[in-house]
Structure 1
């Protein structure tokens, strides 16, 4: 099952300049044409697959048009990959970060190309025993998150680029400010929601490495699903409250009774709605059991995760409204924002 598509017309990159760079960067590169395809998932940074004969690499660059300050920081993401790869082999091996924008029009980095199965809305054709596999995959998702949170961040380069103290308070304030800056309409629930989030910030003394965009279609599995072999999209990774990571994971871990607009955001209900996959409650309980952490306040983190996701969608919609991107996938993103705000408000209860 192909995991890439032809590069979108508006997101093409200069093949001639890129090939010249690759030949200089990798002296033993085989002779041949550069084939560029694009990973279709995701709505933020742009990700491409580069292939020359049997050589493959993945290129990550910021989205087109103006971007928010400190957002889409390629150098930071490259630093995170470099710090974590020795501890967590699911992290793609980083190759090189290039600040020079003359090659493809922005800075970018190259990393290892991993091959396996990424799940979105359905299992690959001719996959059997899906209920058994669904439970197995659910367990792997929980256990990998627990393993990530167990990495001693103080022993990595992340200790130099993070500020764990006061993490959740800063998060609530920061994402509220981002929403206000990207706002295109007034939603009645937002004021009540943000006030509640500000007044109920949990007090937590523990800080761990968090992925902060942990979801099934950011993970890659072996052909028999016995191992997670890849975890991608580390742009939001940092050091902070581990339960914030669980909250984000649960905002993506859909149930069939979730709002229809959220279920069909990727074109069809996410695969987690199929029989055999953990419920959110089962995911949280296994996490508590494996990590030994108290999850009694997880409702707060899930509420915040829905709000954070709403802000991300609002920022994307703002860029679309302002003509900074012409991607038609974003035309109805305001409806996603409204649905996520309602979902966050419901999660308070």
Structure 2
């Protein structure tokens, strides 16, 4: 079904309204407004009768795994329901492709702000708010890794065998999948870093929930207290080793080096905790032991570089904007270089 980039067209709104009525969720859909769009998944705010909700669906040019990604996110919402982990509450999901042509779901609209694009007045006025919210963010990440998942929908993502041993091969396959007539994966020189990661892999630990893309662009913060209102963008969530999330936030933390410019508006105000303080807050909240932290940081560099390189490949195929593609390719190249530094004992992230 046709859809304008980043939002829902009239036919989609009508189809959604029919589905909402059929499911008994409400009677009318109105006030549709885009929250994000373009190359990533589409998120729109709307009203069902007088209730404000958010709809999430794949991008206008869905990737081959886009519907599976939405199914994964539905399982996340269902698994975390009632937990202490901050997340948008799940309302309903739809896997019937006759409705919008893709899998989609509805969730509660969270009252919070994204620190990549906004800075709430309370944070602008008080550096201690900015400092405390960073520490609370690391603590919430530790709580996510300890959250219950067995016997819940996310259990379907748990695979037997070594999670860590699968990482390098899986992400090299992902990088190769970007290949087309205008893009060669060899331009991102991952071989040396990949070999080190395979050769220095730590033992597997008890599996737990991973967000998979934890950084300050993927949270909403409460406006008046220094707390995370919700982790968002769960498309990379899995059951694996939660220490990879810790490595990920350290790599993406808006401090020198800052390879992806996460949490831009919050970071620009200053006062955020150091990476060392994040590690302490994570540990104090019951996080996993960190004796192999260098490996997890290097792996985060490797994985993040390959993930964001996909936008460059899509740009070269005419499916993403030039600015995003070229900017993320530069970041991916820089991340591989930073990962190599970690392997030599020169860890710029701690």
Which TM class, normalised by the smaller chain length?
Answer: 0.7 to 0.9
1:84-233 to structure 2, matched below 5 A, reads 84-88=80-84, 90-120=86-116, 123-125=119-121, 127-163=123-159, 165-182=161-178, 184-185=183-184, 186-187=186-187, 189-233=189-233
Q: Which residue of 2 aligns with 1:251?
A: 251
Deviation at 1:331, TM superposition (A): 4.2
Deviation at 1:88, TM superposition (A): 3.6
Task: Specify whether residues 295 and 28 from structure 1 end up closer, same or farther in structure 2 by C-alpha distance, changes over 3 A only.
Answer: closer
1:288-307 to structure 2, matched below 5 A, reads 288-291=283-286, 293-307=288-302
Q: Which sections of structure 2, spanning at least 5 residues, go unmatched?
A: 346-350
Q: Would you say 1:237 and 2:233 are equivalent positions?
A: no
Deviation at 1:283, TM superposition (A): 0.8
Kept in 2: contact 1:92–1:114 (CA 8 A): yes
Q: Would you say 1:76 and 2:72 are equivalent positions?
A: yes
Q: Which residue of 1 aligns with 2:330?
A: 335
RMSD: 2.8
Q: What is the TM-score with the length of structure 1 in the denominator?
A: 0.85
Distance (Å, rounded) in 2 between the aligned partners of 1:29 and 1:48: 17
Q: Would you say 1:40 and 2:41 are equivalent positions?
A: no
Distance (Å, rounded) in 1 between the aligned partners of 2:250 and 2:78: 27
Distance (Å, rounded) in 1 between the aligned partners of 2:84 and 2:312: 34
Q: What is the TM-score with the length of structure 2 in the denominator?
A: 0.85
SS of corresponding position for 1:111: strand
SS of corresponding position for 1:239: strand
Aligned residues: 336
Deviation at 1:173, TM superposition (A): 1.2
Distance (Å, rounded) in 1 between the aligned partners of 2:160 and 2:282: 21
1:249-328 to structure 2, matched below 5 A, reads 249-255=249-255, 257-258=256-257, 262=259, 265=261, 269=264, 271-272=266-267, 274-291=269-286, 293-326=288-321, 328=323
Kept in 2: contact 1:94–1:110 (CA 8 A): yes
Deviation at 1:300, TM superposition (A): 0.9
SS of corresponding position for 1:10: coil
Deviation at 1:296, TM superposition (A): 1.9
Q: Would you say 1:64 and 2:60 are equivalent positions?
A: yes
Distance (Å, rounded) in 2 between the aligned partners of 1:153 and 1:58: 25
Kept in 2: contact 1:97–1:108 (CA 8 A): yes
Distance (Å, rounded) in 2 between the aligned partners of 1:230 and 1:42: 22
